[in-house]
């Protein structure tokens, strides 16, 4: 059986991580036993990344005919340098690709390209949080959803950008190969926990980390990696050589919540994810540091209601 084909569409001034994150997911899937046939296309002979890196081995659009089993991923680009005078070089190709029934995806600002083609008319979509208002204003015929990692409308996916391209790619792998295999891919990439499109862009693993306090980041990382055991403030304080009282104060200043609230939030989110992947309830409770399955059920249910 031929491997599925993933076609990465590259604009000039493409953002490297928007491209590389999704590429790595499908590459690692092959390393884990499920191969994808990766292609790179561009309307430009020698596209250049926003960081100045040039690309070779990029196929012209005219040489690649998309079929309904393909996945086309348009990586985000620097909007300020997006050359709209070149629209006719790529718009017909992308519209034709969508017409075949292929899966069409945008990462970050590439949602502007999908909107420009009309593919998002009447559909829900998203983009990076700093561009959602501009996207909605420029294309009033679409519905921009804020604070989502990615949004699906039929076979068109739009993601919030940068690292969320990884989340979207993992979701697409899971659609084809299941949650257990995708968990293996994520683990191989050292992605702690895959998020799905219904999670907000500021998932608990991103929430409360907008600060620059290295000690508090260390504490948060330790908590995430040791949820299966009892975690005390004294233990955390020793980790960063700060008194328990001072750590409690600094954590609240940096994150806006208490250490206890943070631990509970992370445990609830991890438990929700593990339950979705089909693990036994008792094992999930143990992995997340709950004393009993009933305690876990109650707290996870409470988080779902509050969200």
User: Tens digit of pLDDT for each residue in 66-90?
Assistant: 999 999 999 999 999 999 999 999 9
The most confident of 166-175, 191-200, 207-216, by mean pLDDT = 166-175
Q: Which residue has the higher pLDDT, 44 or 162?
A: 44
- Find the length of the chain: 307
Q: Enumerate domains of the chain plus CATH numbers.
A: 4-188 (3.40.50.880), 214-306 (1.10.10.60)
Grouping H, G, I as helix, E, B as strand and the rest as coil, residue 179 is helix
For the chain, give me the number of helices (H) and strands (E)? 12, 9
| pLDDT > 70? residue 1 | no
Tell me what pLDDT residue 189 has.
Answer: 86
Spatial CA neighbour of 124 closest among 90, 151, 159, 161: 151
Please give the Cα distance from 25 to 166 (Å, whole number).
7
pLDDT tens digits along 17-66 = 999 999 999 999 999 999 999 999 999 999 999 999 999 999 999 999 99
- Burial class (CB within 10 angstroms; exposed 0-12, middle 13-18, buried 19+) of 245: exposed
Over residues 157-171, mean pLDDT:
90
Write down the residue that tokens 């017409």 correspond to: 99
Instruction: Show Cβ contacts of residue 236 under 8 Å, excluding neighbours closer than 6 positions.
Output: 219, 222, 223, 244, 247, 259
Task: Report the predicted TM-score, pTM, of the whole model to 2 decimal places.
Answer: 0.70
| pLDDT > 80? residue 280 | yes
292 band by pLDDT with thresholds 50, 70 and 90: confident
Mean pLDDT of the chain: 90
DSSP letter string, 101-145? T-EEEEEGGGHHHHHHHTTTTT-EE---GGGHHHHHHH-TTSEEP
Please give the Cα distance from 152 to 94 (Å, whole number).
17
Quick one: CA torsion of 42, 142, 128, 64, rounded to 10 degrees? -20
| pLDDT > 70? residue 197 | no
């Amino acid at each position: 059986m031929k491997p599925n084909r993933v076609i990465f569409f590259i604009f000039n001034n493409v953002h490297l991580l928007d491209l590389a994150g999704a590429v790595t997911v499908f590459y690692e899937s092959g390393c884990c036993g499920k191969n994808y046939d990766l292609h790179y296309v561009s309307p430009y002979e020698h596209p250049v990344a926003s960081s100045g890196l040039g690309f070779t081995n990029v196929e012209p659009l005219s040489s690649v005919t998309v079929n309904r089993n393909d996945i086309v991923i348009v990586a985000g680009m620097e909007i300020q340098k997006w050359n709209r005078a070149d629209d006719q070089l790529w718009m017909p190709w992308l519209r034709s690709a969508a017409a075949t029934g292929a899966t069409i995806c945008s990462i970050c600002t590439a949602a502007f390209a999908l909107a420009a083609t009309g593919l998002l008319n009447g559909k829900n979509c998203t983009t990076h949080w700093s561009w959602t208002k501009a996207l909605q204003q420029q294309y009033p015929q679409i519905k921009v959803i804020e604070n989502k990692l990615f949004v699906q409308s039929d076979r068109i996916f739009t993601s919030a950008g940068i690292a969320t391209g990884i989340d979207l790619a993992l979701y697409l792998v899971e659609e084809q190969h299941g949650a257990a295999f995708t968990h293996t891919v994520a683990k191989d990439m050292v992605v702690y926990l895959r998020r799905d499109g219904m999670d907000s862009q500021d998932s608990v693993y991103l929430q409360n980390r907008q600060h620059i306090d290295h000690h508090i980041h260390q504490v948060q990382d330790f908590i995430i990696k040791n949820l299966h055991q009892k975690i005390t403030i004294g233990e955390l304080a020793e980790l960063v050589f700060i008194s328990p009282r001072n750590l409690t104060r600094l954590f609240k200043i940096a994150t806006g919540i208490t250490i206890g609230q943070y631990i509970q939030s992370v445990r609830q989110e991890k438990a929700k994810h593990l339950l979705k992947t089909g693990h036994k309830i008792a094992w999930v409770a143990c992995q997340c540091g709950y004393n009993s399955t009933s305690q876990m059920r109650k707290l996870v249910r409470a988080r779902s209601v509050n969200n």
